[in-house]
Structure 1
Amino acid sequence: MPKRRRTEPMPDVFETFAHRVDEEEHAEVPLKAGHVAKSAGVSLGLMVLTALAFVLGFWTGTQNEPDLAYDHLVWEGIIKVGFAVLCGLLGAAVALALAMLAIGIPWVQRQRERRGR
């Protein structure tokens, strides 16, 4: 069944959320070049760490092959490469999650101290 068209005008987003934009406490603070450079360095470091973890996971996956009886040579290749890729993805995900915890927990603690909780 097709949807009916709305006859009333769409709400204006800027009017709906105007109270959030106009508040003084949420005024934009200009970015400092040092903060931007630090954030870019952390992002680049996380990308390199994740890439290394993927490569090490892929290498581990190639060293530990699944013990299966293969019907065809193509399936053997697909399963071996797929297993290695999955090991690489798992390694990258674990490394990224641990890095996010290592970065996020101190950040949350600083935010709580700043707000006086």
Structure 2
Amino acid sequence: MLPGMPKPRRTGPMPDVFETFAHRVDEEDAPGEPIRTTQMAKGAGISLGLMVLTAVAFVLGFWTGTQNEPDLAYDHLVWEGIIKVGFAALCGLLAAAAILALATLAIGIPWVRSQRERRR
């Protein structure tokens, strides 16, 4: 707001948030089953493992990119640095994406099979 403009005053009581959204919180017949804490802890552990695995893959891919530099003729020292760091970062991203995709498949395929068996 502009400094010269007066602030509008609220006339009347403030709305009760808990009363307004009580129907969303207190529903007894919510669809689905409640989430078990063991299931949540397992999912958090898998997520953390995937993050660590992806980070390690990025570091190893970056290191591999620094060992295998592109063979180019550079006009300026700055462009040489940008291209070398960019190539190493691209190798790191590619390695991280490949490992994440493989790990997701390794986790997702058995999960889908178990869900299909559960529905039968």
1:66 aligns with 2:70: yes
Match of residue 100 from structure 2: 96
Deviations 1:33-78 (A, max 9, x none): 1011100000000000000000000000000000000010000000
1:48 aligns with 2:52: yes
For 1:28 and 1:39, locate their aligned partners in 2 and report how far apart those are by CA, in whole Å: 18
Amino acid at match of 1:80: K
State, as a whole percentage, how many aligned pairs show the same letter.
76
Match of residue 38 from structure 2: 34
1:28 is displaced (CA, Å) by: 2.9
1:29 is displaced (CA, Å) by: 1.3
Structure showing greater radius of gyration is: 2
Which TM-score applies when normalising by structure 1?
Answer: 0.76
CA root-mean-square deviation = 1.2
Unaligned runs of 5+ in 1: 1-23
For 1:53 and 1:46, locate their aligned partners in 2 and report how far apart those are by CA, in whole Å: 10
Match of residue 4 from structure 1: none
Aligned residues: 92
Unaligned runs of 5+ in 2: 1-28
1:80 aligns with 2:84: yes
Which TM-score applies when normalising by structure 2?
Answer: 0.74
